[in-house]
Amino acid sequence: MWDYLQHLSYWDWLAFGTLLLILEVFGAGGYLLWLGVAAACVGVLTFLFPALPWTWQLPLFGVLSVLSAVLWWQRQRHAAKPSEQPGLNRRGQELLGRQFVLHEAIDGGRGKIKAGDTLWLVSGPDLPAGTPVRVVGQDGVLLKVEAV
C-alpha cells in the first residue's frame, strides 16, 4: 500500500475523478461532483509537476474538495432569489383576489366560474348564476369564492 501511495500518478487521480463523476451520474445529488472535479485537478497538477509527492497530493485533494464544495454552495445560496412571478406554473394562484361572474350557480357548495377560456370548479355559499364573486383561496383545482 505504501509503495502504491508513493507512486501515485496523474492517471490514478484522473481515474479516481472519472469514477466519482460516473457515480455522480447515478444520482448522488451533487455530493460526488466536487470530489470528482478536485481529483481531476490533482491529476492535472500531478501531470504538470510529476515530482509532486503523495504527502502533498492527498491534502491538496482534501483542500480542493472542500474549497470547491463551499464555493459552489455559496454561489447557489446567493443565486437563489425570489421569483418575479411567484404564481408561475401554479395554476389558479394568479386568480386569487380577482373577481369573476358565476358561470353556473353554486348549489350544494359547488359551482363554476369562467376565467379566460377555462371553467373552474368553485366552492362557496349557494349563489345564483351571474353573481359577482371574488376568489379567496384554492384547494388543488377547487377555487374558494365569496360573494362581492
| Whether residue 60 sits in one domain with residue 9 | yes
Q: Is the pTM above the cut of 0.85?
A: no
The CATH number of whichever domain residue 114 belongs to comes to: 2.40.50.140
pLDDT digits (tens, 9 = 90+) for 29-61: 778 888 999 999 999 999 999 888 888 999 999
| pLDDT at position 93 over 90 | no
Q: Residue 127 — pLDDT band, cuts 50, 70, 90?
A: very high
C-beta separation of 132 from 141 below 8 A: no
Provide the mean pLDDT of the chain. Answer: 88
Task: Show the domain range for 97.
Answer: 93-147
What's the mean pLDDT in 93-104?
Answer: 92
**CA 106, CA 53: separation in Å to the nearest integer?**
79
Q: Is residue 85 in some structural domain?
A: no
Q: Residue 79 — pLDDT band, cuts 50, 70, 90?
A: confident
Q: Is residue 88 in some structural domain?
A: no
Residue 138: strand pairing partners:
143
**CA 139, CA 122: separation in Å to the nearest integer?**
10
